[in-house]
Amino acid sequence: MVPVALGLGSNKGFGGRSCLEILGGAVAALADVLEGLECSSVYKTRAMYYTDQDDFYNMAVLGFAPDALDPLLLLQKTQGVEARFGRDRSQEFRNGPRSLDIDIELYGEQTINAEALTVPHPRLKERAFVLVPIVEILAKDADNIKWKGLGSAQIAELRVACSSLRGQGIAQHLDADAFYAYIKEEPYGTRNVGTNKVP
């Protein structure tokens, strides 16, 4: 099992679903892909890079990729979830509005430089909307046991980078406990999220 960190974001609805409903559905879908999934709070964030658009709702999830789920296969899975919730890359522009964006931020301690995927995400350390949610989840594991596969040095670097980005216009919208309760209701109905089990 390899610990994985994903960043999720949404700033437009799809199929009658709000951004929050899309995030809930995406997390429920990801619970079938990764084991021991844990969620951060949901944060409302001012758009970066291209600012003439609605605010984003952002969060992170950490979980464990089964041994058969290599990084490129995980990418296929996450892109499939994006498509299910309305993402169509042919109809969007870089850093523009989207119904769902899922980025693979970390895959264990691996460094990946493939044409389709770069890990750690190249802009991870400049994005409070990614770092704050990831560090929030890591903070629950004070003894660095569950997520030790991310590497103590890498975790320390994330915490340092996060502390320098607090002024980026990110505010908690829904805390993690409330989000867990939300996604365990219909239509999501998943019970595989929020476990403290270490695979």
Which positions are annotated as active-site residues?
87, 98, 101, 103
**Can you tell me the distance from the alpha carbon of 31 to that of 172, in angstroms, rounded to the nearest whole number?**
23
* DSSP-assigned letter for residue 54: P
Among 131, 192, 197, 120, smallest CA distance to 159 is for: 131
Residue 125, CA atoms < 13 Å, CB-side half-sphere: 12
Q: Which residues does 28 contact at the CB level (< 8 Å), separation at least 6?
A: 183, 188, 189, 190, 193
Task: Provide Rg for the chain, Cα atoms.
Answer: 15
Decide if 41 contacts 179 (C-beta within 8 A): yes
138, 132 in Cβ contact below 8 A?
A: no
As beta bridge partners, residue 14 has 17
**Residue at token pair 């867990």:** 180
In angstroms, rounded to a whole number, what is the distance separating the alpha carbons of residues 89 and 103?
Answer: 14
